[in-house]
Amino acid sequence: MVGSKRGGKISSLPIPSQDLDKWMKELVRLSREAERRFRSGNYEAAFSSLTAITPLSGVLVESCRNRIERSSSDGEFVVGVYL
């Protein structure tokens, strides 16, 4: 899913497989940036980095969920299970 903002809400569009890796790397980059900013005492900047993670992770979760549902043989998908 690619998040696009419409009326204050994020809508979902399919993320092409070749772009999924870029989105995952951005998630890691934001996490490291937030940690670096937090450790340096720049809490407002760390907060900014952290708030950017929420919509991005939501898009990635939905993309993974859709891929699991399409590939699942029994059609059952349990949400919230940490493997």
pLDDT tens per residue across all 83 residues of the chain: 344 444 444 445 567 777 888 999 999 999 999 999 999 999 999 999 999 999 999 889 888 888 887 777 665 656 666 65
Amino acid of residue 38: F
Distance CA 44, CA 34 (A): 10
Distance CA 9, CA 7 (A): 6
Angle at CA 19, nearest 5°, toward 18 and 20? 95
> Global pTM?
0.68
Q: Which residues of 36-73 are buried (b: 16+ CB within 10 A; e: fewer)?
A: ebeeeeeeeebeebbebbeebeebbebbeeeeeeeeee
